[in-house]
A and B are shown apart, each in its own frame.
Chain A
């Protein structure tokens, strides 16, 4: 049973560019959340998708947007990249109707902005 998979593993971009990160949730999971983890910090919540809609959003600007597809996979898009966007981007999936259900994480995409 495959867990959460993310692609690409690493990515290098320059300021002002746009990037798309991808995530496939664990089998049986229908909710996808995205987190940003800066070096030496804990993950910060970006947004969560369920039934192809953004359900919750953290304190991130509109440059960060996302999408969820009918097969529950998800994309994170970041426009007008800034140096401060350099981080590990983590995708987590869960089953939405399970109260104590933990979120399962992928290995992340390491984004470096030059």
Chain B
């Protein structure tokens, strides 16, 4: 079946450091890929998405490129802030709009001043 694998956390960084959170997937066909962020005590917020190979999703300084050849969708940010501390989830969705999301286990990011 479909699956998403993320690097284990927590990832601990100092403010203004460069961030990479690795995500790889296993799926047949051509899934859409997503990054969601979850702040403490809250639900999931969509951070960015990419719907076909070589697409780059970006939002709030975060970027991720859909690499079909390596089945990866790594999340990057050039300079993290304390407010970026949260849990980040990589997810895939196949087919049309009524398909469901398959999530990774999440990666906690902790940014210190």
- Chain A residues engaging chain B, CB cutoff 8 angstroms: 4, 6, 31, 33, 35, 40-45, 48, 50, 55-56, 58, 90, 92, 94-108
Q: In the complex the two chains form, is B97's CB within 8 Å of A98's CB?
A: yes
Shortest beta-carbon distance from B101 to chain A in Å? 6
C-alpha gap A4/B101 in the complex (Å): 17
Which residues, 65 to 107 on B, are CB-close (under 8 Å) to A? 89, 91, 93, 95-106
**B contact residues, total (Cβ < 8 Å):** 27
Q: In the complex the two chains form, is B49's CB within 8 Å of A100's CB?
A: yes
C-alpha gap A48/B43 in the complex (Å): 18
- Chain B residues engaging chain A, CB cutoff 8 angstroms: 4, 32, 34, 36, 41-46, 49, 51, 89, 91, 93, 95-106
Query: 13 A-B Cβ contacts within 8 A?
Result: A31-B98, A41-B105, A42-B4, A42-B106, A55-B98, A56-B99, A94-B97, A95-B97, A98-B97, A102-B34, A103-B93, A105-B43, A105-B45
Q: In the complex the two chains form, is A43's CB within 8 Å of B44's CB?
A: yes
Q: In the complex the two chains form, is B98's CB within 8 Å of A45's CB?
A: no
Are A97 and B97 CB-contacts (below 8 A) given A41-B105, A41-B106?
yes
Which secondary structure dominates chain A's binding surface?
Answer: loop
Contacts of A103 in B (CB 8 A): 46, 93, 101
Contacts of A31 in B (CB 8 A): 97-98
- Chain A residue nearest to B100 (CB atoms) is A45
Q: In the complex the two chains form, is A105's CB within 8 Å of B98's CB?
A: no
- Chain A residue nearest to B98 (CB atoms) is A96
Contacts of A56 in B (CB 8 A): 98-100
C-alpha gap A14/B89 in the complex (Å): 31
Are A42 and B104 CB-contacts (below 8 A) given A90-B44, A105-B43?
yes
Q: In the complex the two chains form, is B49's CB within 8 Å of A97's CB?
A: no
Q: In the complex the two chains form, is A45's CB within 8 Å of B101's CB?
A: yes
Shortest beta-carbon distance from B86 to chain A in Å? 14
